[in-house]
Structures are given as structure tokens and as C-alpha cells.
Structure 1
Amino acid sequence: MKQNIAINGTELVFDELRVPTGTPGIDLYVRNKRPASLHTFMPERTIVMVHGATFSSGSLYDVPFNGMSFIDYLAAAGYDVYALDVRGYGHSARPPEMEQPADQSLPVVNTDTGVADLGMVIDHVLQRRGLEKVSVFGMSWGGTVAGAYTSRNNDKVHKLVLLAPQWLSDGPIPIDSGGPLGAWRLVPVRESKARWLSTAPEHGRATLVPQGWFEQWADFTLAEDPWSSERAPNQLRASNGPIQDIRDYWRVGRKYYEPADIRVPVLLVHGEWDVDVPIELAQALFLELRNAPYRQWAEIGEATHLVLLEKNRLLAFQAIRDFYDRAFEAETAKH
């Protein structure tokens, strides 16, 4: 489905794509937004985005607070933006294990699957636009997916942005509440506000999420999986593969990928109040990105793990846009 929308006076095309995976019954949903006036496509103006371990790309990147989402912001700035839902998330197909009771199967949709799905969508975009490279964005678990993909496919990536990416941890990781893991879990979306606000200092909680935003986000997020409205009202299915990988990699000192193998420019974005990825984890990863041509850090004050959905979201939006915009290579070549 294709439609035109207006954001801040800029006409955007909103296109919805289905990308086959080669697995019978499994295809991937991809939302694409771009300026209606954009007809020449370039690697430096094309972005592919992947989400975290719980919520879809629509939920994290495309809720139009005050009439504009993160994807809208980038598209209005001249970018051709693609945001995929990994299988099991959002509007993508669900593995058969997610249609059965969770305790009947082992965790599904692990990081290997996420990397494979991202790769298939990137290849689709490259072919669709006649390009050799795209820029990539990933948040949280999606930062692992995007980082791992880039480390193995530098030739297909122009620039990489990681928001609160996972890294090795000596302490508990909040998303893993312990106990046996089934194929998937139910996430109580409408009850999640208290936990979200609790990650900020007490003095910052009242203003962290502007009035009405949480309710708008919750409605949008639950609509991403209509299954929930019939079988588990106000709850969302999420695959447990990423949590199993926390146990198999991040909590036991095993790197899922080697950041030193990333050889493209990298921006790491982090929120001051992020307890899911504390600053020392993000700094440790940043130091490992030693073979990037250049790397930057953007710390967003008064922000949690969900900075893109909070009052200071525009600070993150601007830092990310500036990084993608900057023709740094051309500038350094002149000196």
C-alpha cells in the first residue's frame, strides 16, 4: 500500500513492502518513507532500521507524537528510510512456534535470525534502488543485529548508528527476569509506564514522557499485533530468542560479534538515565570500535533507554541526522 502524507510542509510517500525470506510462510514487513520529490537514490541518503528485542520498528520509530515520528523526521530531511520488522515482530509473519503455547518450544527468533532478516531487507533495498550500500540504524538488540551485520558486510554499509546497543555485562540485564524461557513471552504494554518512569531519577519522572504520549504509543504498539486484542488484551507477544542470547553471550563474557571488524563510520547514541544499557557498557563497546574510519558519541541528557519516545527525542533525532548528513570524508580529503 502506498500513500502520501505531509510532515512539516514536506510531502512524503509512505510505502509498505513485503520481503520474502525463503522460509515457507515467512515474509517481512518493511515500512518505507521518503520525500515525494526524491527521485535520485544514493547510499548516503538511504537508511535501513531494525528494532529491539520487544517492540517493532513501528512502535519504536513511527509513532507520530505531535504529528511527527522519528522516521518522518528523517524522511522529511531528505532520506529514503526503510524500517523492517524481524519475523515474529510487528506486521511481519510469526514463526509457527509463536502460534502455539509458549512452553511447547525453545526460544525463537534469536540474533542469528535477526541478522539474516536484516540482510535480506538490505539486499532487497539495494536491488530496488540500484545501490551498492545503505546506512544502517539499530537500537538495543537491534544494535547487536546492526553491528553484527556490519562487521560481516562492511562493503554494503555506508554509515552505522547504534542507539543503546547491547554489550558484555557483569551485572543483571533488566529485560531478562530469570526463570525458564519458552518460545515467546507476553509483555503487558499498558502496565509498562511505571517501569519505564522508574528508570529515571524521581525528580525527572513527571516530565519525562509528555502528556498523552504513553497512551498514544500503547495504542499504536498493541495494534502492531492484532492477535493480542482477542487472546491477551493489552499484552503483546515478543520472542524469547534475544533473551536466550543474553544468557549465552552477554552475561557470560562472549561477544556475539567483533566490533573491531566494523570498518565504516559509527555513531553511538546513549541516554543519561539508561539502566538497560548503562554508560559503562556503551563506553566499553565504543572503545572496541577502533577500526572505524571515525566514531562519535552522543550522550542525551535526561533520557532513558527509550529516548526516541521521550521529551528529549529531538536531541537524539538531530544528532543522528547530523551524523548521517555530514560529508566528513570529503572534508578531510581537502586538508
Structure 2
Amino acid sequence: MTVLCRQSTQRKERRMDSRWRIGMICRMVVAVVAISASDAGAAEQENAIVKEEFLVQGKDQGIKLFVREKRLANLPKIGKENVVLFIHGIPSPASVMFDVAVPGYSWLEYMAQRGFDAFTLDIRGFGRSTRPPEMREPPHQNLPIVRADQVMRDIDVAVDFIRSKRKVDKVNIIGHSIGASWSALYATLHPEKVGKLVMFGAVYGRNSTFINTFGDPINPDRPNLEMGAYRYVGRRELLDQWDGWIKPELQDEWRDKEVIEVWLDAFFGSDPTAKQRSPESVQVPNGPYIDWHEIHAGRSLFDPSRIKAPTMIVRGSAEELITNEAADELLQRLTSAPSKRRLDIGDSTHYAMLEKNRLQLYRGVQNFLEE
């Protein structure tokens, strides 16, 4: 009996021991799962993108400028090396052009995910920045508005806002189209505030096509000041231009139709009056087109030899606003830049940031800024 009882007790102890072990294993598994979930949640939180938006008082009375910021929630370090400002061209504001709401197509978010504190600025008259009073009057009642001198004031406000907010002395600038030319001009006027300069699809060099487009009908070498304060830009005008840069049989290879539609929706959404017109259109200041004409007529906005920041020139393979020869000339004339380079994007246009080969652009610029 004693032996039997002892055996029974041992079996019972073994069963209890087995249950205890199973219980411990279960608790350990639950703990590991909980820790893993906690770690995943922490990692997700750490990699989360923070978006902030600001209306910054401009230098001119009544003008407020829309600035958007994206960065990692737990960005370990913020310094002049990783603070960057995007400057748009025409007709799309920076908050639309550089932050398209399609996964993988926001250049702003790409930079933020890689440790940059990235900002966009909508110049006055564009996007969510103040529209000058002339835009409430008939277009031909005033001369073209928002020229380079006013743009310089707006960029300076944004740069100083970022410098103050992030306690840095210099800001890296990425400019697109005429925005690249404005950014270059700004770099010559305020070299102490510009870290590195990226000029993507810059308007530069003499170009007879655009002289005729924006020139005076009688004397095309002079700008057409009769075009009025602003114009209306519709869907067809945007797509006809973009389509014209790509051979018809290559358009689906170079672009994604969903991205085009999302970008267009955001573009028309940037003007609260767009839907008041049929077909819908966006009110765009004409001043930048005058600046554009002046550059292509041989009267550049800026002297490349006065740029003292490390500079990158970026050009898409099907780019028309800056020819291959003009890009080479611009690079050669950067005689005061401590370093300079050129980046060519294959199978791409002036809108490479919205096309399938965009990562060549994103990564090339990222590498330049990180050097």
C-alpha cells in the first residue's frame, strides 16, 4: 500500500509538474508575445511620421505663408545637415507637388522617413498661402503678380522660421522648375542661410520655344506684360504638357494613372474657387511666367558664380525646360560652390518626382544631402 501510494503520489506530482511546466511555457509565450507586441508598437511609434502645418506671417501686410513639416516622431538629431525646405515651381504648390497622398510618391515623406526634418513652402498666391488682392480683381486690371522679388521675401520668411524653430543657422533647399531658379537666386542673396542647394529641372539658358510662349506678340524677346495678373490652369493644360514630354507608347511605362488622378485632385483642391468654374481650374499668378520668359530670353535671374553652397543639378532624360547643354553650362559656371555635381534621371520628365523612376531622384538627392 505504501508503495502504491508512493507511486500514486509520484504520478500526481509528475502530472502537477507537467501542468506547472505547461503553464510556465504558456505564460512565457504570452510574455514573449506581449513583449514582441510592445516592441513592435514602440518601433511603429518611433517610425511614425509627425505632420505639422503652420501659417507664418509674411514680410508684407496681409500675407500669410503656408508651411508644412514632416519628420519622424522620435527624430534623434536635428541639425543643419538634415533640415530641408522644398520650393515649388508653377503651377502646383509645394504642399501638393512634393506630398502626394499615394504610398511611395510623397518626396516630403520619403525624406522624413530617412531622418530629415522636411518642410514645404507655398509661395503667396499658391496653395494655402494668402492670395494677393489682385487675384480678387479681373486679371487684366493688373500687371503679372508674384515676381522673383516677392518670392525672395517669402522664401526668406520660411527659412528664418525654420532656422528659429530648429535652432540651426542654415537650411538645405530643394527647388523645382522656376522654384529651382528662385532658390539659386536666394542662395546668392543669403549664402549664410543656405546649407546645400538642389536645383531640379531648373529654368535656365536661352530657349526660343518659351520666349515665344510668354513673349510680347510683336517683340517676343520682351515679356508679355498684357497677360494680366493671373491665369486659370485646368486639367487639359496640365496633362497636355506632361503628355507631350513622353512618347505615347511609353506613357504607361513612365507614369501611374492613379498617381496622376490623386495629384490632380489635390491640385484642384488647393484653390477653394476651382469648382466655381467649369471645367474646374486653378488660379495661378502670372509673375512666375514672366520670370520664366526672362531666363529663356537670356536674362538669368541669378549669377551661378555667386552661389557658395554645395550644389546639385538634376535633370530628367526628357526634360525640356533645361537642355542638356544648358545643364552643363550651369554646372561649369558654379565656380564658387565648394562642391558640385549633376544627377541625370533615366526615363523621366520635368515631373520625375511623380513618375515611376522617382526613386532615382529621391535617393540621389538624399545621398547628396547626407555627404
Give TM-score, length-normalised by structure 1: 0.90
Deviations 1:252-297 (A, max 9, x none): 3222111111111111110000122222222221111121111111
Instruction: Provide the rounded CA distance (Å) in 2 between the counterparts of 1:69 and 1:47.
Output: 14
1:114 and 2:151 are equivalent in the alignment: yes
Instruction: Provide the rounded CA distance (Å) in 1 between the counterparts of 2:284 and 2:165.
Output: 30
1:303 and 2:348 are equivalent in the alignment: yes
Of 362, 368, 371, which aligns to 1:317?
Answer: 362
Residues 273 and 195 of structure 1: CA distance in aligned 2, closer, same or farther (over 3 Å): same
Deviations 1:91-122 (A, max 9, x none): 00000001111111000001111121101110
Of 133, 156, 174, which aligns to 2:170?
Answer: 133
| Amino acid in the other structure paired with 1:41 | I
Q: For the aligned residues, what is the CA RMSD? A: 2.1
Residue 251 of structure 1, CA deviation: 3.3
Q: 1:246 corresponds to which residue?
A: 292
- Written as runs of structure 1 = structure 2, the 5 A alignment for 1:184-333 is 184-231=230-277, 233-247=279-293, 249-326=294-371
Deviations 1:18-56 (A, max 9, x none): 111132221000010011002542000100111002110
Mean CA deviation greater in 261-270 or 232-241: 232-241
Instruction: Provide the rounded CA distance (Å) in 1 between the counterparts of 2:212 and 2:165.
Output: 36
Instruction: Provide the rounded CA distance (Å) in 2 between the counterparts of 1:104 and 1:296.
Output: 44
| Amino acid in the other structure paired with 2:197 | L
1:66 and 2:66 are equivalent in the alignment: no
Structure 2: gaps spanning 5 or more residues = 1-42, 218-225
8 Å CA contact 1:141, 1:166 repeated in 2: yes
Instruction: Provide the rounded CA distance (Å) in 1 between the counterparts of 2:258 and 2:212.
Output: 25
Residue 174 of structure 1, CA deviation: 8.0
| Amino acid in the other structure paired with 1:184 | Y
Higher-Rg member (1/2): 2
Residues 132 and 210 of structure 1: CA distance in aligned 2, closer, same or farther (over 3 Å): same
Residue 131 of structure 1, CA deviation: 1.2
Identical counterparts, % of pairs: 31
| Amino acid in the other structure paired with 1:273 | A
Q: 1:172 corresponds to which residue?
A: 209
Q: 1:330 corresponds to which residue?
A: none
8 Å CA contact 2:214, 2:289 repeated in 1: no
Residue 67 of structure 1, CA deviation: 5.1
Q: 2:22 corresponds to which residue?
A: none
Residues 175 and 64 of structure 1: CA distance in aligned 2, closer, same or farther (over 3 Å): farther
8 Å CA contact 1:26, 1:87 repeated in 2: yes
Instruction: Provide the rounded CA distance (Å) in 1 between the counterparts of 2:146 and 2:190.
Output: 21
8 Å CA contact 2:59, 2:153 repeated in 1: no
Instruction: Provide the rounded CA distance (Å) in 1 between the counterparts of 2:211 and 2:50.
Output: 38
Aligned to 1:275, what secondary structure does the other structure show?
coil
Residue 325 of structure 1, CA deviation: 1.0
8 Å CA contact 1:270, 1:298 repeated in 2: yes
- Written as runs of structure 1 = structure 2, the 5 A alignment for 1:143-154 is 143-154=180-191
Mean CA deviation greater in 152-161 or 224-233: 224-233
- Written as runs of structure 1 = structure 2, the 5 A alignment for 1:13-162 is 13-38=50-75, 40-66=77-103, 68-162=105-199
Instruction: Provide the rounded CA distance (Å) in 1 between the counterparts of 2:212 and 2:44.
Output: 34
Instruction: Provide the rounded CA distance (Å) in 2 between the counterparts of 1:133 and 1:288.
Output: 23
8 Å CA contact 1:277, 1:305 repeated in 2: no
Instruction: Provide the rounded CA distance (Å) in 2 between the counterparts of 1:108 and 1:47.
Output: 27
Aligned to 1:218, what secondary structure does the other structure show?
helix
Q: 1:181 corresponds to which residue?
A: 227
Deviations 1:186-208 (A, max 9, x none): 11125522331221234422322
Q: 1:329 corresponds to which residue?
A: none
Aligned to 2:103, what secondary structure does the other structure show?
helix
Deviations 1:122-143 (A, max 9, x none): 0111111111111111001100
Number of residues of Structure 1 aligned to a counterpart in Structure 2: 320
Aligned to 1:212, what secondary structure does the other structure show?
helix
Aligned to 2:265, what secondary structure does the other structure show?
helix
Instruction: Provide the rounded CA distance (Å) in 1 between the counterparts of 2:136 and 2:107.
Output: 31
Q: After the TM superposition, list the runs of 4 or more consecutive aligned residues in structure 1 that deviate by more than 6 angstroms.
A: 6-9
Deviations 1:54-95 (A, max 9, x none): 110022100032354100000000001110000000100000
> Which has the larger helix fraction?
2
